[in-house]
Amino acid sequence: MVQFNFKGITVVPSGKEMVDIILSRTQRQTPTVVHKGYAINRLRQFYMRKVRFTQQNFHDKLSAIVDEFPRLEGIHPFYSDLLHVLYNKDHYKLALGQVNTARNLISKVAKDYVRLLKYGDSLYRCKCLKVAALGRMCTVIKRIGPSLAYLEQVRQHMARLPSIDPNMRTILICGYPNVGKSSFMNKITRADVDVQPYAFTTKSLFVGHTDYKYLRYQVIDTPGILDRPFEDRNIIEMCSITALAHLRSAVLFFLDVSGSCGYTVAQQAALFHSIKSLFLNKPLMVVCNKIDLQQLNALSEDDKRLVDEMKAEALKTLQIGGDPNAEQQVLVTMSTLTEEGVINVKNTACERILDQRVEIKMKSKKINDCLNRFHVAMPKPRDGKERPVCIPQQVLEQRAKDQEVEKEKEKRKLEKDLENENGGAGVYSASLKKHYLLANDEWKEDIIPEIIDGHNVADFMDPDILERLEELEREEGLRLAGEEGDDFEIDGDNMTPEEREALNEIRKRKKALIQEHRIKKSTAESRPIVPRKFDKDRQFTTERMGRQLSGLGLDPSKAIERVRSRSVSRGRKRERSVAADGAGDDGMEIDNDGKGSNKRLRLRSVSRSRSRSRAPVEEVIPGEGFKDKEQKVKAIKLGKKSVKKRNKDARKGEADRVILNMMPKHLFSGKRGIGKTSRR
């Protein structure tokens, strides 16, 4: 059987909402402009398209509703009966049948009117037929409005149902109301079921999950059941009966031995015997709860007899016979208040489920196929001597040591235990010194003095300690530099004294070069252009360059001239001759006193140089999936070209839609009666 996902059903719109959706979609997604001058064939096709489009949309919507709701015959019997209990199977099928009938009627209406439109002789006749077709379709939808509303309510309720897997390892909890079922579920799972001291707090099925031996188990909490005839039980009780009847699980029947739930042990035993037919072929356990209020041994003779009868019925469901611990597997005691025996109940139920599953698999036909693949080799005895199982002495000693270590761990007090013993949180303050490694444990809590014998303790510090620290750091740096620079280490054991001495000289020279290089990197010596602040001794001058070139037998005049011309051009703006009124032959203005001034020339040269400047071109770096610079430049150009039309239309992006005519004439013109505002 298929496990159905109730949470994936699409929302069912009401009749009016569905009509609005479909007609609006027809108006938006079909042509809207038609004139009298069109050919009659074009007019027919125009209105036939609208009728067909509307029919197809109605068909798709209604088909989605019919197909997405589960068919009661095609899902697990547990789901089928649960839906029947909650929503009445007849009403459910009737609503889906009406939706299916409406789908067929709409298809028939569309087919009839398309046939009539083929013979329409004018624009007016075709339009009237289209209006009639859409009107009849909408009338059909409005008639099934109550069914759509009912299906929407069913869908919302089904989406809130818990996700129960009928094929999973399941523990089912049942019993009278207020006997501790929900409390037990909250203890063993992470489910948060509401627990109150009155009956029928749990009104539906609740699901939680727990783990045992690296396997996941499903725990289902059912509402309380009363001992009354089957036909008198309400919907809440029938949910529990449905789960008991159809889910393959281990059943925990909770028994309140204290009677604080409001029902005696005799009433609970009567309920057990009335529904014991639902426990067939299922592991059954009788769980005596609330033993903190009433011990099982302190019950009266009649109550003990009733409990023994229930235990005898539970023993019949035990798969493995002759087990000495059988009674402990079918009758267990616990208290959810003190949590005594809670884990034992969970573990016992999980073991019963595993045993039952193994038993079922051993009885199946597939087990023979599996056993044929195995071969167990049994060694033949070579003589008549017995060789019993022997555990080596070392293994026994190691096991004893491990047990001692475990005992010490159990005896060791934690910080939380110390906190509880010494006043609790806010009173106890943990000591940070108790883990100090000192020669004497008594020194751990000693207070370090600042003054001793009238002297400051800080005065006893070695004055040269900082210099020694720097010296040690320097030596450490040299050693690390030597280790980083050596790609490989040469073993000097097989070398002669001369070779060893040469190797030491090489290593010293290598370390010195590394240190010199690092010093140069930290200063400005490695830069191509030496700033003036670093050339304070005026070593890098043209005179020095001239002396060096002369020593090599070269003429230094041209080199010195080239250097000087570069320095001059770097410090001045570009000059040009100016021929204007009031200017001399050399481009200089003549003042009243006859002296030349190059102020105008300087201003013009600066402005011209600025006007000719260009913005720096952004360098294109290959990457982002492009193999080279040219390919990326081409991609950038194509990208700019593609958005040119969008930018020209002043759109924000590709999704920006420009509506040229906000009020088209064919939608907002024509005579309309009073109150007739529908444009469809």
Mean pLDDT across the stretch 194-218?
A: 82
Mean pLDDT across the stretch 558-580?
A: 59
Strands 170-175 and 250-256, sheet pairing: parallel
Residues 495-547 pLDDT 10s:
788 888 888 888 888 888 888 877 777 665 555 555 555 556 666 677 778 88
Residues 416-450 pLDDT 10s:
888 888 888 888 888 888 888 888 888 888 877 77
178: left (phi over 0), alpha (psi -120 to 50) or beta: left
d(CA 631, CA 236): 72
Stretch among 27-41, 173-187, 238-252, 663-677 having the lowest mean pLDDT: 663-677
To the nearest whole number, what is the mean pLDDT of the chain?
80
pLDDT band at 585 (very low <50, low <70, confident <90, very high): very low
Tokens (6 digits) for 439: 């020669």
d(CA 211, CA 216): 5
Q: Which domains, ranges and CATH numbers included, belong to the chain?
A: 6-157 (1.20.120.1190), 163-365 (3.40.50.300)
Neighbouring C-alpha atoms within 13 Å toward the C-beta of 249: 26
Tokens (6 digits) for 474: 């320097």
**Residue 210 clears pLDDT 80, i.e. is over it:** yes
Cβ-contact 211, 228 below 8 angstroms: no
Q: Computed over its alpha carbons, how large is the radius of gyration of the chain?
A: 49
Cβ-contact 184, 337 below 8 angstroms: no
Residues 338-347 pLDDT 10s:
888 889 899 9
Output the pLDDT for position 482: 63
d(CA 548, CA 479): 39
Residues 429-456 as b or e (16 or more Cβ within 10 Å = b): eeeeeeeeeeeeeeeeeeeeeeeeeeee
| 256 to 177, 182, 293: CA distances (angstroms) | 10, 13, 10
Cβ-contact 174, 245 below 8 angstroms: no
Q: State the CB neighbour count (10 A cutoff) for residue 636.
A: 13
Instruction: Of 564, 567, 585, 586, give the one whose Cα is nearest residue 575.
Output: 586
Cα 649 → chain centroid: 42
Instruction: Tell me the CA end-to-end span of the chain in Å, nearest whole number.
Output: 47
Dihedral angle sign, alpha carbons of residues 627, 628, 629, 631: negative
Cβ-contact 524, 531 below 8 angstroms: yes
d(CA 347, CA 171): 11
Cβ-contact 310, 286 below 8 angstroms: yes
Residues 243-260 pLDDT 10s:
888 888 888 999 888 888
Mean pLDDT across the stretch 89-116?
A: 93
Strands 206-212 and 215-221, sheet pairing: antiparallel
The residue to which tokens 């025996």 are assigned: 341
pTM to 2 decimals? 0.51
| 289 to 114, 171, 230, 532: CA distances (angstroms) | 73, 17, 26, 94
For residue 621, what is the DSSP state?
A: P
**Residue 589 clears pLDDT 50, i.e. is over it:** no
d(CA 662, CA 673): 23
Output the pLDDT for position 163: 82
**Residue 579 clears pLDDT 70, i.e. is over it:** no
Cα 252 → chain centroid: 36
d(CA 11, CA 155): 8
| 354 to 106, 212, 350, 524: CA distances (angstroms) | 55, 10, 6, 79
In total, the chain counts a number of residues equal to: 680
Output the pLDDT for position 496: 85
Output the pLDDT for position 592: 44
Cross-strand pairs, 172: 220, 251
**Residue 668 clears pLDDT 90, i.e. is over it:** no
Cβ-contact 225, 237 below 8 angstroms: yes
Residues 275-302 pLDDT 10s:
888 888 888 888 888 888 888 888 888 8
Nearby residues of 105 by Cβ (< 8 Å), 6 or more positions away: 140
The residue to which tokens 């309510």 are assigned: 153
